[in-house]
Structure formats: C-alpha cells, structure tokens
Structure 1
Amino acid sequence: MEGYDTSLMKAFFGIPVFREFYGKPVNPDRPPEHRIYEISPAWQSGLTSSAFVGQIIGLLINGFIADQFGYRRTMIGALIGLCLFVLLAFLSINIFMLLAAHFLCGIPLGIFQTLSTVYAAEMCGASIIRTVAKMQSQWAYRLPFALQWAFAVPILLGVIFAPESPWWLTKQDRLDEARRSLVRLARKDSDGSKIDETLAMMKHTNDVEKYLSNEGMSFMECFRGVNLRRTEIACMVWAAQALSGNALAGYAAYFYQQEGFSAQNSFNLSIGLTGLGIVGNIIAWLLLPSIGRRKLYLCGLFLSFIIFIIAGGIAILPQSNARSWTLGSLIVSATFVYNITIGPVCYILVAEIPSSRLRVKTVVIARVAYIVSNLALGVLIPRMLNPTAWNWKGKAGFFFSGTSLICFAWSYWRLPELFGLSYLEIDILFERRAKPSKFRELQANLESAGYFSLTRTEQPGCLWRGY
C-alpha cells in the first residue's frame, strides 16, 4: 500500500488531464484546445517529496510508539489515519490542497511501513493508471486516490484479528502472551515442546542482547559500539534501493512521454514493467535459498550499472523511434533486475542486520536514509526529465550508473552474508567485530559441518559453531 501511494503521484504526471487541472500551459498564446500543460519541476518535486517528509515524521513517531504499544495497535491506528487523509486527497481542488493531503498521507505510511512492508503493493499502480489515462475527466486521478480505501479496509480487518509479534511480547517480558502468539502462528499439529524451545531461544537471544547493550533500547543505542556498524549497513542497503535507479522507474510513464511515446504506449510499457517486476519477485524466491543475500545484491547493483551506462550512451544518439524503444526496454530491464535482486533482498537484509531489541529503531533510521535519498532524487529527477529544466531525458542513465557503481563498491567491502545464520550467531559476529570475510568463513564452516542439512528439531542444539 505504501508503494502504491508513493508511486501514484509520479504516475499522475503522465496523465494529461491531471497536468491540465493542476499545471500551467507551456504555450499560453495558443488556442485552449492546442495548449500543452506541464506541472513545473519545483511543484513536481514538492508533490513527490511531501509524502516523504510526512513519512520521516511518521517513522520517528513509530520508533517511539511501536515499542510502547505494540506492532498491532500501531498498525491499526496508522491505517485509520490513512483512510481519513485519503479523503482530503480525493477532494483536493487545487495543488496546495493536494500537497497538504499527500504530506498527511505520508505520516501513517511512515508509521506502518517499517512494521509490515507489503511489497506486492508496489506492483499495483501502473495497471490502474493505464485505464484512467484514457479518461478526460477529473476521475482520471480521483479514482486512483479512492482505490486506496480498497487496500486499507481489508488490511485493517486483517490486522485487527492478527496476533501480536511474539518478539515484541518477549522484549516486554510477557512470555505467556508470547507463547499464545506462537501457538496461533504454528501449525495445528505442532508439538508443544517445539513452541517452548522457540520461546526459550527468543528469550535467550533477548537476554544476550540486553547484556551486550546494557539493556538500552533508545535511538542512541543504534549509534553506539557495534550497533553503529549494523545501523550503517541497514541505512546503506536501503538507500541503495533508490540510488541504484529504481527511483527513475517511478517516473517511467513520464519518462517515456518525454522520449516521444504517446500516453497510451507509455502506460503500456509501464504495464510491461510491472508484469516483469512480479516475475522477477517470483524468480527471487527461487534464487535466494541457493545463492544467498550478498551475491544476489551485488549482482543487482553491477547489472544496474551496466544497464544505465548503456542507456546513457544510447540517449546521446539522434532522436529516432528505435532509440526511444531501446531506452524504454532498458528501463524495463533495469526494473526486472531490481525486482530479482536489490528490491526483495533489501528487505531481508534490513530485517536481519539489527539486533532484535533495536530492530524497530534501526529499521526506522534505515528507512529515513532511504527517504532522504528519495527526497534528493525527487528534486533532481523532475529536472532531469522536464523539457523546461535540464531536459536530460535518457542521459539520466549516466547519473544512475555512477550511483550504482558507488553502491556496488560499498557493498563489496562492507556487506556480510547472513544466509542461514541465527540472530544469536549474527549478534556474536557483530560483537566480535568480524569482517565480512569472517561471516563467509563461518558460512563455510557451518556448511562443511552439515549444519544446513539438519532438520529444525536438530538445529537448536547446534546454534554456534564458531569461526
């Protein structure tokens, strides 16, 4: 749902009736029926950035209230707030009202996006926009706003009946409730002793982390000792999502129109982009168990570098139909690669890197780093694409090839492989300030010892093999 909302505004820039209602004509001296309307780069940046500013506020609020009231109650409150703020966006009659509504919607999005990142929501926007792009009335953009209620209400009902996180309950020393939550999450035929073993390991991990952090759970703990390294990795991993070029894909329909595609063909390509994104996620499910997080993440960054530097080179060529379609295909390819590698792997890494006691706060800080990256790109990308500003168009590929290369270099030297490690093992490796190579060495030791081939009932007795 967060992905749908944040991508919605960028997609609206490709709808002519939206630009006509909220924008200004670039050729006011021509008859009304022949005028071309554009929303200025400054307003494009403001509209896309307003939600990100709201999300930062929501994230900071979430960092305090989630640990206090629990994930379930926090999610319910955020969803109710979002439903109310969507009404303001739906009824907006000018660009100022739309800006305020988008900012307010960002606050609840920021609150619940670190608790439950519904990645499938990122795949919903383009197919709806393709349909409404044909409309000539204000429903072309009001209908997609209204459809957010269709997401929020079912999610709200699901969260109301969902169990609270057993990890949060364990951190609050509410072990009986944590066990009941585990029972609800387990299969009906699960052995009660296995649930007790799981609860015991969760309590032990929490006790170890309390000892290592002197029982601190504040935001400042994320920047002290070994937690600083974990925070750095989480922030960079999430920021690389935007810096690797995915932020440009959010402007795909507008980008295609600036390259000479019709509005219909622009959204047809966006549909292809979305469809391949879904296929890419399915492929990622198959690759992750065998390849691991680090290799897949590095492959994604390197391929993004190659694709965008090729796109920038093609953009230098004279304008032609072949050039436009090649650039369009490269953007689709970059998104396909992203959804196999960087996109899904990022969420796994960000969840595994922090300690369990500081997970919410570390993820909040990492998400703020991601949003700050998007804020900067939200100012730059409209100027790169808008014909009244820098007018780079496809040459923006050079910029994102550079940022992808920087992220690749950082990941190669700083990002460890965590596949197959328990939270306790990860805690010990970070506490010993192990280099990324030591993480891989432990992986090799565990694999040679047959640890990964053990059943779930055998693994609890072999949690630490050392390196």
Structure 2
Amino acid sequence: MDLKEASRQDLLIKAEEATDHEHELTFLQAIKLYPKAVAWSVIMSTALVMDGYDTKLLGSLFAQPAFQKAYGNVQPNGSYQISAPWQAGLNNGSNVGQLLGLVIGGSLSEWLGFRKTIMIGLVVAPCIVFMQFFAPSIGVLQAAQVLLGLPLGMFQTVVTVYALEVMPVCLRSYLTSYNNMCWVFGQLIASGVLRGVLNFENSWAYRVPFAIQWFWPIPLVIGVYFAPESPWWLVRQNRPEDAKAALRRLTSPQSVDFDIDKSVALMVLTTEHESEINSSTQYSACFKGTDLRRTIIVIGCYCMQVLSGSTLRAYATYFFEQAGLPTAQAFNLSIATYALSLVGVILSWLLMPHVGRRTLFLCGLSAIAVMFFIVGGLGIPQAASPSTGLAWTIGAFLMISAFVSNITVGPVSYSLVAEIPSSLLRSKSVVIGRFTYACLNIVANVITPYQLNPTAWNWRAKAGFFWGGTCTLGLLFTYFFIPEPKDRTTAELDLLFEKKVPARGFVKAEVHLSEVEPTRSYHASENKMD
C-alpha cells in the first residue's frame, strides 16, 4: 500500500471512529462534553428573540387603541382602524427586508464567518429602531420595518446553521429547536409589553414597545464577540488547525474519550466527499443532483410554518378582538397563548429524540388542521349571532393550536432545515428556504388582514377553514417528501440521499461510512492537520 492510499485509509478509520463515538454518546455524556458549545449556541440563537418580538409587535399594535388613533383612520362609529392594505404593508415590511438580509447574511457568513455576520447585524439593528421610535407617519414606520428586516434576515441565515455545526448528533434537535423557543419568547415579551401599556393614552403606548428592542443587541454583541467560530466553517475554509482550536473551545478537556483529531477528520471526509460529488458552492448547486431534493425539503419545512397558521397566530390579539373579546382580554389571551407555546417547545425536547422529526410533523399538522376546521365551523354561528361563549371557545382552540404547533411543526422545522442540507451548501440552502418562507409569508400577511378586518373580507373566525386547508397541503408534502434524519451524521445523510432512499425508508436504511471514498484534495488539508 503506497503512502497516498495509507493516508486515505487513515482518514477513513478516524472518521469511522468519530462516527461511532457520535452514535454512542448519550445525552448526559454530550452535555458533559459540550457544555461550552451549548452556552455559545444559546447566546448566538438568542438574537432570534428580536425576530419573534418584531413578528408579534405590529400584529398586536393593530389592536392597540393609541396606535390605531396615531396611524389609523376614523371609522363611521367613531373608532379608529389601520386599513387592511397598511396592515399588510407594515407586517410585510420586515419580510421584504429579510429577503435582502438573507442573501447578505448568506454571503457574509461564508466570507467572514458566523460570528462576524451576527455582530454586524447586532450593530445595525439598534440604529434602525430609532426610525421606528420617532416615526412621524405610517410611511416612515413602513420604511423602518423594511430596514429592520435586513439584520433580522442575517440572524436567520446564521444561527440555525451555527447551532447544528457546534453540536454532536444527540444534541442537534435541542439546540436547533431552541431557535424556535427564542422566536416564541420574543412574541411572549411583545405580548406582555403591549398588555402593560394598553391603558396608556399617549404615544408612549407604542413607543415603549419599540424602545424595548434597544435592550437585546448590547449584551448579545459582547457575547458573540467572544464565541468560537464553527469548526465546520473553518474546515470548509481549508483551516483544519483552526477547526481543532475552535473544537477545543467548544468541548470540555475533562473528557478522555473524545478525540479532536478524529472529529475534524470526519468533518474533512464529509466536506471533501461532498466537494467531489458537487464541486460548486454557488446557489445554483442547490438545484442540481441530489441537492435539488434536499433543497425542496428545506423549502417545504420552512413554508410549513406558514401553512400551519403561524401568520394567523401572529395576529392572535387582533383575531381575538375581532372574534368578539374585549381588547384587554384579547391581550391576556394572547399572552397565555405564547406562554403555552414555550411549554410546547420544552415538551418537543422530550419527544423529538424518541419520536422523531417526521412523526412529529405528521401528527402536528393533522391535529392543527382539525382544530382550524373546528374554528372555521364555530365562526359560522358566531358571525350570525355573536356570543361571548363562542368567542372564548374560538380563542381556546387557537391557543391549543399554538401549543401543538410549538410541540411539533415549529421546533421540528428548525432542526430539519439545518440537518437536511449538505455541509457545503448548508448556509445557502437555509437562505433559499427562508427566502421562500419570507415570500410566502408576504402573501399570508396580505390576505390575513383582509380575512380578519371588518372593513375588508370580514371572515373573522371562518378564516379557520382556509388555514385548515393549507395544513392539509402541508401534511401531504410531509408524508411524501420529508425523511427522518434522527441519529444520522451529515456523512450518513449524504449517502442516504445519494442512494435515493425514499422519505419513508430513512429510518430502516443502512449505510456505512466506508462507502464514502476519501478524495484527492484531502492531502492538502492533511498536511495542515499534522
């Protein structure tokens, strides 16, 4: 055996041993080995609190009397309403900005790394909040929403991929789904803040909620500055020695069973194999070969959040008000909804490692579809003869749907979009998936105000029929397209997709790392590793 072949065999042996270690690692062992990685991932992901806060803020302000009076139009009965077109425009402002922010974040993260990309977004966001806070007109507020979407889009590009790349297989589902918890936590904070200022009769009723957004960037930018870079990103940059150093900062030196060299060898083997299969790392590569199927799955997982009614739930306070509840009770019920959603995410952590992503998706979408159809059915008698009892029943079903969504679709989608793509195209796949999600969310944010607004279609609770139908479409997509990536390393997933294993066959299919052929370009990296 010549030296070149010996080097290939050595790489494969190290990678196989690292894979075996990944499979044998229990939850408690992983926590003991990766406590610093968990902490750094939590700090990075907490930036998504700002996105969740922004998502909830405008939808709830539409039910805020002081905000309605400042930016709305007087109605024949003397009340004030933000018109449906402006509601759609304001909610879509952030989504439009995120389209560009996603692309910018995808490019910056590959060029500068995840840390620096997040830091840039955290520095830019507070400056844009000034526009929101002092907005003299609804047009200026609209411009501020668009600009704020830029850093929020950058956060979405980075944090999910970072969480996956610093975690072992058995911790991936917890830290990637933590991103969903941050999103829900931001919505809960927004609901609580808005309830606290509900009785304010001056401009502070909506300026205080805007000002709260200045709090998050300061501590986060300090934490992110000291965070280590993703070792996978460093390997993709052909910097294996730096990847080893980053991995040392992410792990505990007390563990005697962990070999950094073997872990980096697995990263190198996976990255080089993917380069051999598809050498391009351009966006077009996401739509070629086996990566096309993976991209479609990522797009579907992101869009499932919208199809399962997240846009309607973002309007929860306004929805409750239009369903017949008093404004104060509408805000109280909204707070309860997001508190339940946080509990749901925690329950998903207990279920995901045992039940699996695909099963949770199927069960969640089925249950949410049934609940939305019930809401739509209750909306028929409520429209004909409004009653407080029906209004509370409709509100209860919407709360339960949010609870179920955050046990299943919400957290699971964040895990899937990070796990499914190849390591080389992970960031770009997330950009494409989230970009499609933002476009679909724009459509949803246009039609939802029309569905609920009494000056437009005035469907109110009958909108449940529409969202029950979209859940059914998502259920069909999940059954035929979404596989089960639980307990699979990135290299093993590469092999499953290359073999064109059907989505329903991923659980039982067997793959062996020996099927991955170490590639020619490894030797340049190997010299730097030695």
TM-score, normalised to structure 2, is 0.81
Give yes or no for the alignment of 1:136 onto 2:201: yes
Q: Aligned equivalents of 1:109 and 1:437: distance in 2?
A: 35
Q: Aligned equivalents of 2:249 and 2:469: distance in 1?
A: 48
Percent of pairs identical after alignment?
41
Shift of 1:168: 0.6
Aligned residues: 442
Identify the match of residue 101 of structure 1 among 128, 133, 144: 144
The residue matched to 1:114 in structure 2 has which SS? helix
Matches within 5 A, 1:433-448: 433-442=500-509
Identify the match of residue 363 of structure 2 among 299, 307, 311: 299
Give yes or no for the alignment of 1:267 onto 2:334: no
Matches within 5 A, 1:349-368: 349-368=416-435
Q: Aligned equivalents of 1:219 and 1:175: distance in 2?
A: 25
User: Is the 2:313–2:398 contact (alpha carbons within 8 Å) kept by the matching residues of 1?
Assistant: yes
Q: Aligned equivalents of 1:153 and 1:7: distance in 2?
A: 22
Partner of 1:42: 85
Partner of 2:122: 79
What amino acid sits opposite 1:210 in the alignment? Answer: S
What amino acid sits opposite 2:402 in the alignment? Answer: T
Partner of 2:347: 283
Matches within 5 A, 1:63-462: 63-116=106-159, 118-119=179-180, 120-123=182-185, 124-191=189-256, 194-213=259-278, 215-317=279-381, 318-442=385-509
Partner of 1:458: none
Q: Aligned equivalents of 1:3 and 1:90: distance in 2?
A: 18
Q: Aligned equivalents of 2:417 and 2:219: distance in 1?
A: 27
Which structure would you say has the larger RCO, counting Cα contacts within 8 Å and 6 or more residues apart? 2
Structure 1 residues not aligned, in runs of 5+: 447-461
Partner of 1:3: 52
Structure 1, 115-124 or 12-21: larger mean CA deviation: 115-124
Shift of 1:465: 9.2
> Residue deviations 1:176-218, cap 9 Å, x none?
11111100000131348611111111111111111111x2110
User: Is the 1:2–1:122 contact (alpha carbons within 8 Å) kept by the matching residues of 2?
Assistant: no
Call closer, same or farther: CA 1:193–1:285 in 2, change over 3 Å. closer
> Residue deviations 1:77-109, cap 9 Å, x none?
111111111111111111011000010000111
Structure 2 residues not aligned, in runs of 5+: 1-49, 161-178, 517-530
What amino acid sits opposite 2:63 in the alignment? Answer: G
Q: Aligned equivalents of 1:340 and 1:187: distance in 2?
A: 31
Q: Aligned equivalents of 2:514 and 2:349: distance in 1?
A: 27
User: Is the 1:304–1:334 contact (alpha carbons within 8 Å) kept by the matching residues of 2?
Assistant: yes
> Residue deviations 1:268-323, cap 9 Å, x none?
10111011001101100100111000000111100111000011011111311111
Q: Aligned equivalents of 2:298 and 2:93: distance in 1?
A: 24
Q: Aligned equivalents of 1:380 and 1:412: distance in 2?
A: 27
The residue matched to 1:107 in structure 2 has which SS? helix
> Residue deviations 1:416-456, cap 9 Å, x none?
111111111100111121111331222xx58xxxxxxxxxx
CA RMSD of aligned residues (A): 1.5
Shift of 1:11: 1.2
User: Is the 2:184–2:342 contact (alpha carbons within 8 Å) kept by the matching residues of 1?
Assistant: no
Partner of 1:459: none
User: Is the 2:372–2:465 contact (alpha carbons within 8 Å) kept by the matching residues of 1?
Assistant: yes
Q: Aligned equivalents of 1:375 and 1:164: distance in 2?
A: 33
Shift of 1:144: 1.2
What amino acid sits opposite 2:112 in the alignment? Answer: F
